[in-house]
Structure 1
Amino acid sequence: MNMDELRSMAVFARVIEKGSMNAAAQSLGITPSAVSQHLRRLEQRHGVTLLQRTTRKLTLTEAGQLFYQGCAAMLAAARQAEQQLSALRDAPVGELRISAPSGLAGGVLSSALAPLLAANPGLSLRLFFHDEMVDLLELQVDLAIRAGKLKDSSLVARHLADWHFVICASPVYVAKHGLPQTPAELLQHDWVGVAAHEGLSRLQLTRGAETVTLSMPPRISSNNILSARAFVLEGLGLSLQPEPEVRKELAAGLLQPVLSEWSLPELPLWMVTPRREGQPAKVRHAMLVLQAALGGERHL
């Protein structure tokens, strides 16, 4: 079956729906003669009469009735497919697949996306947490959040936020080991490092015109920032953490900042998509809520 036959079937179904060739021609934007040619080709191709034509009306033959049912089902399926595409374009529906660094698994991402899911019951979510780079196309990821400097690629990146880092410790650790008062005193303390994040064990602290750079040998090293944070919460050392990810722990007194009068380099966050245009509504809405929830973060 070729495209010409499919079009002829659509014309035939429109004739039946409209009740006349003239009405069908008008709705399709073609001439009555063109409609008649489509019907004639169908009958010649299949060797059956589909319509009995009189000057007053058109009557379906038995073969025409059966054929019309198939044509109508085809058109209904096409309309449904078109509606589904429109829904994907206009409303957040379907499965939203997001990739993000493991640190966002601590609740930052869920807090940002929960209102979107609550407001759109036709939307589902699948999250992938990776600290290493993953192939978005292979995983069919709609939207990725990536941290740090991005490599050149065909992906489209939009700046999301700049996250401030904080050196933190638990009250248990501070009670036992004391609180460092200068950057140099950090070297006298146990350090919990994150191996997967380049630069987290190399500290650059700035206060006014003064800059101090330290290389912190870790007592505990992890390739996952959540596990490193867990050791800090247990009182086993100091660690460098993104402030938005530990904000609740800081507010609750489970962690406390160290050398808060010194500033640290910020970490840029990016929203990355594999396509340049035609983004479905689920991606556009997710980007809006993430920008609203996380965008412009500069908490000092």
Structure 2
Amino acid sequence: MDTLKAMLILGKVIDSGNMSSVGRELGMSNSAVSQHIKQLEKHYSMKLINRTTRHISPTSAGQILWQSAREISLILTKTQQNLTALKTEFSGVVTISLPSASIESPSIKRFLLQMNEQYPQIDIHLLPDDNVADLYKDNIDIALRATEPSGNLIARFLTQWQLCICASPTYLAKNPVNHLGDLVQGTWIHFNNKIFDNAFATMGLGKFSANKVIHCPIISSAKSLALEGFGLTLQLYGDIEHYVENGELSVVLPNGSLPTYNIYAVTAHRNQSAKINAVLSVLKQVFK
């Protein structure tokens, strides 16, 4: 027996005082309505209603269940209203995890400006994190990733960015890089073994190796050190585009065969609330 359903039916019967009207409202026969109440009485081993040919009234036990049924009905109604609002209202907080270096990218700045113009009631919480965030555990709405997501996550393609070697003009003036052999002689600001090994292998240099290495696990900090002239590093072009255009960073060996990365907006579920769909739409626009 569905106890909750039977309680709600009992509540409607006591409210209306008429089984026939409740049956018509719910699309049930009178006998089906009566059967639900009988099962409920059997479940609690108590008589719940007093019934005459003209009147239905609750017993003391029925009064208790009737009050509980009214409270449950109000909760269900409020829940439905909240869920409906979630589907239609463009307001609230949306949490986005993204690589630390992307915080200053032109794409993210355009995204924030456009969100403020189009959806001022949506508050964006940016969480810079160079690790792969757990969308379920960390309560994250959207993750921007440069890798193909695994498992049941839903990935929406945004764009493709080239990985590039960069350094400040000051560093390169003292340590020019004219061919691949110069790379291993330089000072490198290193943040991830897999990315650096893959880049060197793609260029035919084997595993990553350098004359001097500064280890810095945070990608944005590696970029900052490169801007200050401490050495070479790897960055996605979309994250350093404005520094290159301003002349603060230079791309080294731009014709080299470094890998490209697809950038995705990843969510835990395909169906999303109105506010998250709005954010995903703006992300697609600005990265496109």
TM-score by length of 1: 0.70
State whether structure 2 residue 188 is matched by structure 1 residue 191. Answer: yes
Cα distance between partner residues in 1 of 2:48 and 2:268:
52
**Residue 129 (structure 1) shift:** 0.9
Q: Do the aligned residues in 2 keep the contact of 1:99 with 1:145 (CA within 8 Å)?
A: yes
* CA deviation vs aligned residue, 1:145-198 (integer Å, no higher than 9, x gap): 3324x4864545444322123333334435x52754555555564433333423
Aligned-residue offset at 1:126: 6.5
Say if 2:15 is the partner of 1:22: no
1:235 to 229, 234, 240: 229
Q: How does 1:250-261 map to 2 (within 5 A)?
A: 250-260=244-254
- 1:36 equivalent to 2:34? Answer yes
Which residues in structure 2 correspond to 1:35-114 (within 5 Å)? 35-40=33-38, 42=40, 45=44, 47-48=46-47, 50=49, 53=52, 55=54, 67-88=65-86, 96-106=94-104, 109=108, 112=111
Question: Structure 2 counterpart of 1:244, which letter?
Answer: G
Q: Which residue of 1 aligns with 2:164?
A: 166
Specify whether residues 158 and 91 from structure 1 end up closer, same or farther in structure 2 by C-alpha distance, changes over 3 A only. Answer: same
Q: 1:19 to 1:244 in 2, by over 3 A?
A: farther
Contact 2:50 2:59 (8 Å CA) reproduced = yes
Cα 1:49/1:221, change in 2 over 3 Å: closer
Q: Against the structure 1 CA distance between its residues 188 and 126, is the aligned structure 2 distance closer, same or farther, given a 3 Å change threshold?
A: closer
Say if 2:97 and 2:128, in contact at 8 Å, map to a contact too.
yes
1:9 match: 7
Q: Which residue of 2 aligns with 1:244?
A: 238
Q: Aligned Cα RMSD in Å?
A: 4.1
Give the TM-score, by structure 2 length.
0.72
Residue in structure 1 matched with residue 261 of structure 2 by the alignment: 267
Q: Distance in 2 between matches of 1:135 and 1:198?
A: 24
Comparing 4-13 and 43-52, the one that deviates more? 43-52
In the alignment, the residues of structure 1 paired with residue 198 and residue 154 of structure 2 have an alpha-carbon distance, to the nearest angstrom, of 27
**Structure 2 stretches lacking a partner, 5+ long:** none
Aligned residues: 282
Cα separation, 2, equivalents of 1:120 and 1:222: 36
Tell me the secondary structure at the aligned position of residue 130 of structure 1.
coil
Aligned partner of residue 28 in structure 2, secondary structure: coil
Shift in Å, 1:30: 0.1
- Spell out the pairing of 1:135-150 with structure 2 (5 A cutoff): 135-148=134-147, 150=148
Tell me which moved more, 212-221 or 67-76.
Answer: 212-221
The amino acid that maps onto 2:282 is: V
Q: Which residue identity lines up with residue 145 of structure 2 in the other structure?
A: R
**Does the Cα contact within 8 Å between 2:99 and 2:129 map onto a contact in 1?**
yes
Aligned amino acid, residue 291 of structure 1: K
The answer to which of 265-274 and 82-91 deviates more is 82-91
Distance 1:124 1:16 in 2: 48
Q: What stretches of structure 1 of length at least 5 have no aligned partner?
A: 206-211, 296-300
CA distance in structure 2 between the partners assigned to 1:115 and 1:90 by the alignment: 20
> 1:52–1:61: 8 Å Cα contact kept in structure 2?
no
Which has more helix, going by share of residues? 2
Write the distance in 2 (CA, Å) between the matches of 1:192 and 1:85.
Answer: 48
Q: Tell me the CA shift for residue 244 of structure 1.
A: 1.0
Aligned residue runs from structure 1 range 121-136, under 5 A: 121=121, 125=125, 127=127, 129-131=129-131, 133=132, 135-136=134-135
Aligned-residue identity in percent: 28
- Partner SS for 2:145: strand
Counterpart amino acid of 1:112?
F
